[in-house]
């Protein structure tokens, strides 16, 4: 089996690649598990060294829109495509044209290139919780369900929702086997801030654990829908494995989310790393971020994902402990 | 005031142009009514002679995608754009690339050209009932409301729904003032069959009135959501007039629909033109059309349209009588 991961050098793409390479096999669309012969990673920057060292990994650097338009990717014989590449929410709001190019045009071009293969490859499209947004003067439905009408309040959310529509129609037409999964806000995201407006939901744990101060730009009672990196990758892989009939409608599904508050997140941080960690938090509401966060749903149901056997993180404290265990070099404060 | 109508030579575009030229004034977005100085019609073919004779009418022939990409249209000084141009449902299902070009790429290009004006023109986008479709193995919600999640089951429906998303985001960003209206199945549509899968819903009245046989490819009990040409144009004009606050959310709205059945339509035809008309109907289920029609909603609520003061046709018999009155040259059977 040959796999392509767009955004393959990013944090999620690299983690997905490691997961797939480690399990060594993958069952697509309810079929039998087959050996993974190759994993092609495409991104602007090269992937981490451990992935480059794996003989099954191939890296194709460049601009996804150009690579797809040139039919360089996906290569003939590609069985599954995990499309994670995207410009993030903050970038798309600041630079409309960038978002339309990276998220809208590139997704369309990638689907066209998949169609051109003529082999109906399986495509898992990473959509986002950001398809849901509170409209001015109207409350958000509580909870948001798989069948709630998305009303994106950001260009990023619109572009992701358009991607879902394209994936659904390319699948209905038989050009691809399509799976759209709406990722929750991933926390704790390791590494450096990435320009996503939701970045502080990782930074407020990651930075204090590294001994650095971190801003918390929203009130403690702010409700958020989170998923750990492990649960997120689990959902993406499950989408590829599920049969068409288990998957059901071609509309996007909400991946499992842990419903918590920013205050509970801080409490979990303190439970793991003590007062020295939470004393590094600067609670200072930022009107610009508040305005954006106010449009995000915190209460998200995920019935279809549950039907596929997926589950949410048990607690945010466990999520923080997992981060500490997985990222020893980035943690300076002793965990309890 | 300067107006652009795409698809301006088509039946609906020409009727909209006549309505606007006749009233001579238009109030945009809750403002004061202003004199209409020009109406630019763009289409592949020239508009009807009566429109060409009006000194306020300008015709720009050509391909909308090219005209928009070249920034030929909309011209500087355009206050309102009515975007009706589209490849119809049957065409889009038979030729995927045609639909993606005419409905997806051209709409995107037109919105970019509107944005390039820098004057935030008002754009009324003609979306469609076809954004709603019954998914395999799942019933459609009854009724469909303005807040029902669209699950298009045709490429045409997907392309229209993507258009709604683009209009919403271009409006949210302040590039345009956006209005997406979902047109119901227009009946009785005059003229010749146009390749829409729903064409028989006009043909089964229009052809017998002209003394011609017509196929009815679905059972009498088939539920349909219809609007007359007059009600459809009324909804499109109202969308342009409504203020942002009266309009509300940037999501698409369902225009008013008359809920009837194909059997009731035949009965209305008979009430107007007698047995000689209905004896020209060939009731012969067509599996291909049945499969498609089975995915269409017949029970559609339109609360937002009602809130804007719009109403549905009172009865289908009245719709048939209006058609007879408006199209004397096309009616051979004497109306009662």
- pLDDT for B268 beyond 90: yes
Task: Please tell me which residue, B149 or A292, carries the higher pLDDT value.
Answer: B149
CB atoms B166 and A158 under 8 Å: yes
Task: Give the mean pLDDT of chain B.
Answer: 96
CB atoms A165 and B153 under 8 Å: no
3-state secondary structure chain B: CEEEEECCCCHHHHHHHHHHHHHCEEECCCCCEEECCEEEEEECCCCCHHHHCCCCEEEEECCHHHHHHCCCCCCCCCCEEEECCCCCHHHHHHCHHHHHHHHHHHHHHHHHHHHHHCCCCEEEEEEEHHHCCCCCCCCCCCCECCCCCCCCCCHHHHHHHHHHHHHHHHHHCCCCEEEEEEECEECCCCCCCCCCHHHHHHHHHHHHHCCCCEEECCCCCCEEEEECHHHHHHHHHHHHHCCHHHHCCCCCEECCCEEEEHHHHHHHHHHHHCHHHHCCEEECCCHHHHHHHCCCCCCECCHHHHHCCCCCCCCHHHHHHHHHHHCHHHCCCCCC
Task: Please tell me which residue, B183 or A192, carries the higher pLDDT value.
Answer: B183
pLDDT mean over B5-30: 98
Q: Which residue has the tokens 């206050």?
A: B79
- pLDDT for B46 beyond 90: yes
CB atoms B168 and A161 under 8 Å: no
CATH number of domain containing B268: 3.90.25.10
- pLDDT for B265 beyond 90: yes
Interface residue A102 vs chain B (CB under 8 A): no
pLDDT mean over A9-28: 98
B189/B233 Cα distance (integer angstroms): 12
Do residue B95 and residue B161 come from a single domain? yes
A241/A308 Cα distance (integer angstroms): 10
Dihedral, CA atoms, B244, B245, B248, B250, nearest 10 degrees? Answer: 30
Instruction: Identify all chain B residues contacting A149, using CB atoms and an 8 Å cutoff.
Output: 147-150, 251
CB atoms B158 and A165 under 8 Å: yes
Residue of B nearest to A252 (CA): B151
CB atoms A169 and B149 under 8 Å: no
Q: Evaluate whether residue B191 is within a structural domain.
A: no
CA distance B135 to chain A (A): 7
Do residue B38 and residue B161 come from a single domain? yes
Do residue B43 and residue B13 come from a single domain? yes
CB atoms A173 and B155 under 8 Å: yes
**Residue B292 confidence (pLDDT):** 79
Convert the pLDDT of each residue in B181-212 to its tens digit.
999 999 999 988 877 778 999 999 999 999 99
CA distance A123 to chain B (A): 18
Which residue, among B165, B292, B307, would best test binding to A if mutated, counting the most A CBs under 10 Å from its CB? B165
Rounded percentage of chain A residues whose pLDDT exceeds 90: 90
**Residue A197 confidence (pLDDT):** 79
With left for phi above 0 and alpha for psi between -120 and 50, is residue B269 left, alpha or beta? alpha
Do residue B231 and residue B291 come from a single domain? no
Enumerate long-range contacts of B29-37, CB under 8 Å, 24 or more apart: B29/B122, B29/B177, B29/B240, B29/B241, B29/B242, B29/B243, B29/B244, B30/B241, B30/B242, B30/B243, B30/B244, B30/B245, B30/B246, B31/B243, B34/B1, B35/B1, B36/B1, B36/B2, B36/B3, B37/B1, B37/B2
CB atoms A153 and B172 under 8 Å: yes
Task: Please tell me which residue, A28 or B89, carries the higher pLDDT value.
Answer: A28
CB atoms A162 and B165 under 8 Å: yes
Do residue B169 and residue B266 come from a single domain? no
A65 falls in which pLDDT band (50, 70, 90)?
Answer: very high
Q: Evaluate whether residue B304 is within a structural domain.
A: no
pLDDT mean over B125-141: 93
3-state secondary structure A279-302: CCEEECCCHHHHHHHCCCCCCECC
Convert the pLDDT of each residue in A210-241 to its tens digit.
999 999 999 999 999 999 999 999 999 999 99
Q: Evaluate whether residue B238 is within a structural domain.
A: yes
Which among A138, A166, A168 is the nearest to B249, CB-wise? A138
**Residue A89 confidence (pLDDT):** 86
Interface residue A135 vs chain B (CB under 8 A): yes
A117/A75 Cα distance (integer angstroms): 8
Do residue B144 and residue B10 come from a single domain? yes
Instruction: Identify all chain B residues contacting A250, using CB atoms and an 8 Å cutoff.
Output: 135, 151
Is there a catalytic annotation at residue B156?
A: yes
**Residue B178 confidence (pLDDT):** 98
> What is the separation of C-alpha A66 from the centre of its chain, rounded to a whole number of angstroms?
23
A318/B299 Cα distance (integer angstroms): 48
Rounded percentage of chain B residues whose pLDDT exceeds 70: 99
Which residue, among A162, A171, A304, would best test binding to B if mutated, counting the most B CBs under 10 Å from its CB? A162
pLDDT mean over B293-303: 91
Burial of A229 by CB count in 10 Å (0-12 exposed, 13-18 middle, 19+ buried)?
Answer: buried
- CB proximity under 8 Å: A 169-188 to B: 169, 172-173
Task: Give the mean pLDDT of chain A.
Answer: 96
Do residue B232 and residue B177 come from a single domain? yes
Q: Evaluate whether residue A200 is within a structural domain.
A: no
Do residue B23 and residue B137 come from a single domain? yes
- pLDDT for A206 beyond 80: yes
Task: Please tell me which residue, A336 or B156, carries the higher pLDDT value.
Answer: B156
> What is the separation of C-alpha B8 from the centre of its chain, rounded to a whole number of angstroms?
12
**What b/e readout covers B58-86, taking b as 16+ CB neighbours within 10 angstroms?**
bbbeebbbebbbeeebbeeebbbbbbbbb
**Residue A239 confidence (pLDDT):** 98
Do residue B38 and residue B174 come from a single domain? yes
B254 falls in which pLDDT band (50, 70, 90)?
Answer: very high
Do residue B111 and residue B130 come from a single domain? yes
Q: Evaluate whether residue B262 is within a structural domain.
A: yes
Q: Evaluate whether residue B38 is within a structural domain.
A: yes
Do residue B236 and residue B326 come from a single domain? no
Are B34 and B26 in contact by the 8 Å Cβ rule? The answer is: yes
**Residue B137 confidence (pLDDT):** 87
- pLDDT for A117 beyond 90: yes
Domain count, chain A: 1
**Residue A333 confidence (pLDDT):** 86
- pLDDT for A57 beyond 90: yes
pLDDT mean over A264-271: 98
Interface residue B92 vs chain A (CB under 8 A): no
B296 falls in which pLDDT band (50, 70, 90)?
Answer: confident
Q: Evaluate whether residue A210 is within a structural domain.
A: no
Q: Evaluate whether residue B305 is within a structural domain.
A: no
Q: What's this model's pTM, rounded to 2 decimal places?
A: 0.96
Instruction: Identify all chain B residues contacting A150, using CB atoms and an 8 Å cutoff.
Output: 149
pLDDT mean over A17-41: 98
Bridge partners of residue A41, in order along the sequence: A5, A59
- pLDDT for B336 beyond 80: no
| A97: containing domain | 2-186+227-254
Interface residue B69 vs chain A (CB under 8 A): no
Convert the pLDDT of each residue in B220-236 to its tens digit.
999 999 999 999 999 99
Are B38 and B74 in contact by the 8 Å Cβ rule? The answer is: no
pLDDT mean over A44-57: 98
pLDDT mean over B20-44: 98
**Residue A271 confidence (pLDDT):** 97
Convert the pLDDT of each residue in A170-181 to its tens digit.
999 999 999 999
Convert the pLDDT of each residue in A287-319 to its tens digit.
988 887 888 899 999 999 999 999 999 999 999
Task: Please tell me which residue, A336 or B14, carries the higher pLDDT value.
Answer: B14
CATH number of domain containing B94: 3.40.50.720
Half-sphere exposure of B231 (CA within 13 A, CB side): 31
Do residue B126 and residue B95 come from a single domain? yes
Interface residue A309 vs chain B (CB under 8 A): no
Q: What are the structure tokens assigned to B186, written together?
A: 């227009």
């Amino acid at each position: 089996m040959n796999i392509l991961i767009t955004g393959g050098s990013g944090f999620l793409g690299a983690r997905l690649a490691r997961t797939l390479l480690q399990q060594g096999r993958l069952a697509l669309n309810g079929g039998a598990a087959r050996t993974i012969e190759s994993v092609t990673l495409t991104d602007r920057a090269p992937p981490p060294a451990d992935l480059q060292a794996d003989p099954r990994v191939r890296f194709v650097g460049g601009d996804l829109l150009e690579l797809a338009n040139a039919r360089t990717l996906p290569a003939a014989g590609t069985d599954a495509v995990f499309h994670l590449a995207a410009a993030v929410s903050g970038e798309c709001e600041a630079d409309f044209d960038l978002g339309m190019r990276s998220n809208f045009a590139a997704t369309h071009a990638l689907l066209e290139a998949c169609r051109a293969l003529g082999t109906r490859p399986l495509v898992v499209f990473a959509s986002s919780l950001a398809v849901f947004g509170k409209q001015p003067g109207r409350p958000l439905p509580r909870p948001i369900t798989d069948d709630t009408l998305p009303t994106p309040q950001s260009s990023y959310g619109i572009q992701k929702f358009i991607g879902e529509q394209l994936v659904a129609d390319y699948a209905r037409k038989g050009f691809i086997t399509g799976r759209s999964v709406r990722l929750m806000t991933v926390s704790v995201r390791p590494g450096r801030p990435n320009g996503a407006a939701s970045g502080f939901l990782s930074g407020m744990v990651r930075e204090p654990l590294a001994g650095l101060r971190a801003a918390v730009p929203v009130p403690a009672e702010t409700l958020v829908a989170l998923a750990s990196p492990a649960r997120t990758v689990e959902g993406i892989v499950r989408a590829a494995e599920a049969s068409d009939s288990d998957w059901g409608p071609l509309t996007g599904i909400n991946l499992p989310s842990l419903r918590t508050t920013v205050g509970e997140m801080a409490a979990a941080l303190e439970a793991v790393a003590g007062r020295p960690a939470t004393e590094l938090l600067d609670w200072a509401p930022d009107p610009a971020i508040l305005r954006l966060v106010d449009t995000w749903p915190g209460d998200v149901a995920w019935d279809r994902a549950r039907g596929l056997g997926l589950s949410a993180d048990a607690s945010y404290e466990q999520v923080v402990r997992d981060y500490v265990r997985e990222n020893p070099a980035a943690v300076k404060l002793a965990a309890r």
